[in-house]
Amino acid sequence: MDRQITVKFPRELALALKMADSEFEKEIKIISLVKLYELGKVSSGFAAILLDMKRVEFLNKLSDYNVSIFPDLMEDELDSDYKNA
């Protein structure tokens, strides 16, 4: 069963972003899932399903929010490998 949450925001915020309420709602959902992915709380595949998009679309969207497709742990390992090389 799906659950729903309500987020209260001043009308001026959506207007300042030049978004209709429905666009703002979608943006909040995307931002939430991008952040959850960044924190390692959800997979890219699960986030994509919840956003009704393909996984590759979700991964491409991450760059819009300055989020790497690589989890932090992997970046740390890559840095370590680079320093050891």
For 16-78, the DSSP string reads HTT--HHHHHHHHHHHHHHHHHHTTSS-HHHHHHHTTS-HHHHHHHGGGGT--SS-HHHHHHH
Q: How many angstroms separate the CA atoms of 56 and 40, rounded?
A: 17
Report the pLDDT value the prediction gives residue 72, as an integer from 0 to 100: 59
Per DSSP, 9 falls in state -
Report the pLDDT value the prediction gives residue 43, as an integer from 0 to 100: 94
Q: What is the mean pLDDT of residues 41-69?
A: 95
Report the pLDDT value the prediction gives residue 77, as an integer from 0 to 100: 60
